Amino acid sequence: MNTGLRLSALRLTALVLMAVMGVLSGCATPNALVEIKGQALYRERIALPADAKVIVQLLDVSKMDVPAIVMAERVQQGAAIPAPFSFAMGSDQFQPGHSYAIGARIMLGDKLLFINTHAYPIDLNATEPMTILLEKVGD
């Protein structure tokens, strides 16, 4: 009889644990999606060569004195200006206390034509599109 009580107690404990796990998993929310969107442009009234490419990067710029970590990148070959961009990532990809920014440039082969010269920090709660202004690189 003692063995029967232990078996019943184990079954009851297992049922309680399963119920608690079910409640906890039901309370969990799916990973929220963070969308960062905008456009890269320059002021000069010149057309890009057909083989130029616009490169926009989502960067983790948290660490000083080291290169930024590229989290995502969009490359548009022969893109017209303004060049739209969009990144959609799970909120779990962003770490609390870290700083994030957008970097953009226009390349023609290995030659840099335009680049952003100002910082464009990301507000993960913002819904408005960003505008990244690119500056012409001297010849």
User: Could you state, in order of their start, the residue ranges of all structural domains in the chain?
Assistant: 38-123
**pTM more than 0.85:** no
Return d(Cα 109, Cα 83) in angstroms, integer: 18
Q: How far is CA 7 from CA 1, 20, 38, in A?
A: 10, 20, 62
- Pairing between strand 83-90 and 53-60? unpaired
In degrees rounded to 5, what are phi and psi of residue 68? -65, 150
Q: Which fold has domain 38-123?
A: Immunoglobulin-like (2.60.40)
Q: What pLDDT score does 8 carry?
A: 55
The helix/strand/coil state of 29 is coil
The helix/strand/coil state of 70 is strand
Q: What is the pLDDT of residues 36-91, one digit of tens each?
A: 999 999 999 998 899 999 999 999 999 999 999 999 999 999 768 999 999 999 99
CA proximity to 101, closest of 52, 54, 63: 63
Numbers of helices and strands, H then E, in the chain: 1, 7
pLDDT above 80 for 114: yes
